[in-house]
Structure 1
Amino acid sequence: MGHREDLLEGAKRCLLQKGFARTTARDIVKESGTNLASIGYHYGSKDALLAQAYVAMVGELSAAFDGGNQAGLTSEPGSVERFQEVWTNVIATMKEPGSLWRLSMEALTMGDQLPELRDHLASAQRESDRGLVTMFMGGREEDVPEETAVTLGRLYTTLLLGLVAQWTFHPADAPDADALTEGLRRATAAWKPGE
């Protein structure tokens, strides 16, 4: 591995150990075996490096959402069964010790104090919206129309962030996939034709 990759891996370890706010550039350098100048050269800033490290970790984690890939999901795309299957997989990642999801809450609550980090994560969020659409509905991310990404994708993102908040705040009371699916069934049953 070169310095760029070493920095990224070191930043991932620092994030899991210390989070965004407490990780310093010196921590990353120590963890990666590189030097301070490498951060600026390869990533521009510590916050940009941390944002890329976080996005990379979420990407690695998202493989668990769909069983490694869409072929790992067994239910029909767009079905209630797919909805339940994906949420079951997502929730399983929240139950793991040292879950990455606590970093999501830190990024949300510290966004104003870490504006560069917030900006990097906001641009990555747009791609995440597309990925969630394909996870639930099938297809390829590059084929998801912008309107679908900013409507359906953001609906899934909103559900995900709310779920992360509940699992972070009080896991014992957080909903499981069965409860989410039943909530979806009840909501759709209450809709009147033409709405």
Structure 2
Amino acid sequence: MGHREDLLEGAKRCLLEKGFLRTTARDIVKESGTNLASIGYHYGSKDALLVQAYVALIEQMGDRFDPGWGAGDAAQAPGGSLERFRDVWASVIRSMPESRAVWLLSFELILQGDRLPEVRKLLVEAQEQGRSGIVPLFSGVPEAELDQETVETAGRLYQTLLQGLMVQWIFDPDSATDADHLTEGLRRVIAGATKG
């Protein structure tokens, strides 16, 4: 690995251990075995590096949301089906214990967003990418083939559900919504919408 990759990996470890605000450039340098000048050279600033590290952590966690992750060639329910909806949420929930540090980091960034306007701007851009990345899990349609309207509607819906679920599981896993609750709730909403 080169300095760029070493910095990113070191920043990811620092974020998980110390969080965003408590991580210093010196912490990252110590963890990565690089030097202070390499942060500016490769990423422009410590905050930009930390945002990239955070996005990388989210992407790694998102890989585990796929119901087929780690299942080899196991057949998946058809995209757009209630079964697929349930399977994706079950995968998300299974990942919660090992993803807890990343979710806590997300809360830190949400709560400090007003104090870190440049960081907030970078995270807003990453959030837009996240919307297009989550839709394929449910639809089965590759990200490159999604139209913008689907990303802006279905992507926002899934992202909102994910963030709400995250809050519940961080606050109290024992009473948090599970995949069956979400699926039955959606089934009832669909049934109600088709009545009238």
CA contact (8 A) 1:39 1:49 kept: yes
**In 2, Cα distance between the equivalents of 1:115 and 1:79?**
40
SS at match of 1:100: helix
Q: Quick check: 74-83 or 110-119, which moved more?
A: 110-119
Please, what TM-score do these two structures have when normalized by structure 2?
Answer: 0.92
**In 2, Cα distance between the equivalents of 1:157 and 1:71?**
27
Aligned length, in residue pairs: 194
Please, what TM-score do these two structures have when normalized by structure 1?
Answer: 0.93
**In 2, Cα distance between the equivalents of 1:128 and 1:73?**
25
Per the alignment, residue 13 of structure 1 pairs with 13
Per the alignment, residue 110 of structure 1 pairs with 112
SS at match of 1:77: coil
**In 2, Cα distance between the equivalents of 1:73 and 1:101?**
29
**In 2, Cα distance between the equivalents of 1:158 and 1:147?**
16
C-alpha deviation, 1:40, in angstroms: 0.8
Per the alignment, residue 64 of structure 1 pairs with 64
Structure 1 residue ranges without an equivalent (≥5): none
**In 2, Cα distance between the equivalents of 1:113 and 1:71?**
46
Deviations 1:104-126 (A, max 9, x none): 11111111122222211211111
Per the alignment, residue 170 of structure 2 pairs with 168
SS at match of 1:22: coil
CA contact (8 A) 2:12 2:53 kept: yes
Q: Which of residues 144, 147, 172 is equivalent to 1:145?
A: 147
C-alpha deviation, 1:95, in angstroms: 2.2
CA contact (8 A) 1:93 1:99 kept: no
CA 1:98–1:156: 2 relative to 1, 3 Å: closer
Per the alignment, residue 127 of structure 1 pairs with 129
Structure 2 residue ranges without an equivalent (≥5): none
SS at match of 1:158: helix
CA 1:19–1:184: 2 relative to 1, 3 Å: same
Per the alignment, residue 158 of structure 2 pairs with 156
**In 1, Cα distance between the equivalents of 2:45 and 2:125?**
16
Deviations 1:60-89 (A, max 9, x none): 111111133896661110000000000000
CA 1:169–1:38: 2 relative to 1, 3 Å: same
Which letter does structure 1 place at the counterpart of 2:46?
Answer: K
CA 1:146–1:100: 2 relative to 1, 3 Å: same
